[in-house]
Amino acid sequence: MGASYLLFTLGGLVIGIGGLALASITAGAPLLPLELVILLLHPLLFISVILISIGIFIMIGK
Give the integer Cα–Cα distance in Å for 34 and 21.
9
Q: What is the tens place of the pLDDT at every residue in 2-42?
A: 888 998 999 999 999 888 988 988 888 888 888 988 898 89
- pLDDT band, very low/low/confident/very high, at 1 (cuts 50, 70, 90): low
Q: Is the pLDDT of residue 48 over 90?
A: yes
What pLDDT is stored for residue 28 in this prediction?
Answer: 85
Whether the CA torsion 17, 18, 23, 25 is positive or negative: it is positive
- pTM, to two decimals: 0.77
Of 41, 38, 49, 40, the closest CA to residue 12 belongs to 49
